[in-house]
Amino acid sequence: MASQAHATQPAAVASTVPHTEARVVACPVCASPMTSARTARRLARRLHPDDLRITDLRYGTTLALRHCRACGFVFAEAEELAELTALYGALIDPEYEASEDARTLQMRWLVERALAVRPDARSLLDVGAASGLLVLEARRRGLDAVGVEPSRALAERARVAHGVEVVQGAFPHPALAGRQFDIVFLADVLEHVADPVGLLRAARDALALHGVLVVVTPDLGSLAARMLRGRWWHFRLAHVGYFDHHSLVAATSRAGLAWALEARARWFLPVGYLVERLASGLLRAPALRGMSSIGRSPRSPTTRRVISALGGRVIQLNLRDSFVVFLRRREDVA
């Protein structure tokens, strides 16, 4: 799902601020000043819209990151984020569009899980809707569904190719002002914003009485993240905030939300798509070296043969490294 730049979010420029332990930088989640430099910037130029593609292969390439010792949140330096909303607006990702058939299966699974929690739902909002696949699945289930997406190209594809309502821009969006929904999705969105608590509050305000907010976001405390370390597939330029369980509870609590249910995300990926990513260097992580006979690059002869043999076959994965959290307004469960 495409990233959703929050309206109050500053955007991404090359940082000129030295990363010293003496600097006091408050955590965006818990406001603690006990933060320290964690990872240096791994890009020697300003960001470009292509750097934010959903299908970017450069695992381990991130902006300068800090770690909060109070809640565990890991986040990009504020100086890195000055143009993020504009960059997302210019984002074009043809590879994402080419994988829509498989991604639709994940959207179907997410909608089904949300309806299991709120079976009487009549309306749905998808924040960071990309090309509208989740909105389309919700409409197929009879829901009055709408999305909001910062990428002009992806929002246009949602309208033209899929015939669904996806407004272009950041959330909260003027076109949706005053509207409330039985289900609101922030699927693979929260990790893309500089003010996650602010976005959670905006999503909470969009919930109807007894509505459900569904948050999908990577888990920094997962086994996969610990094993792969710097080569974890969620370490990428587009991700500016990383949660573990403690920091996600802190963020949702500050936003006035209560946890109703927790699960783990499932992914539905074409085999060729997965093999290409493995060959991009993922299996050369320290914990996994020597475990793969796949070629050394996405264009190696071995990789090409595997992709050719398996074609577009789709497999379902549960890597247990992304949260799926169902939340309600705190007053609805009091």
Sign of CA dihedral 293, 299, 304, 310: positive
Counting residues of the chain whose pLDDT is more than 70, the rounded percentage is 81
* Separation between Cα atoms, residue 80 and residue 65, nearest integer Å: 10
Residues sharing a CB contact under 8 Å with residue 44, sequence separation 6 or more, in sequence order: none
- Contact (CB, 8 A) for 61 and 279: no
How far is the C-alpha of 212 from the C-alpha of 61, rounded, in Å?
Answer: 34
More confident residue, 37 or 98: 37
Beta strand 144-149 pairing with 166-168: parallel
Find, among 4, 56, 49, 55, the residue nearest to 168 by Cα: 4
What are the extents of the domains in the chain? 270-314
Q: pLDDT digit string (tens) for 235-258?
A: 999 999 999 999 999 999 999 999
Confidence of residue 276 (pLDDT cuts 50, 70, 90): low
Where does the pLDDT of residue 62 fall: very low under 50, low under 70, confident under 90, or very high at 90 and above?
very high
Q: Hey, what are 162's tokens? A: 């899929």
Tokens encoding 212? 């459900």
pLDDT in tens, 178-190: 999 999 999 999 9
277 pLDDT more than 80: no
List the beta bridge partners of residue 268. 316
Residue 198's Cα: distance from chain center in Å? Answer: 16
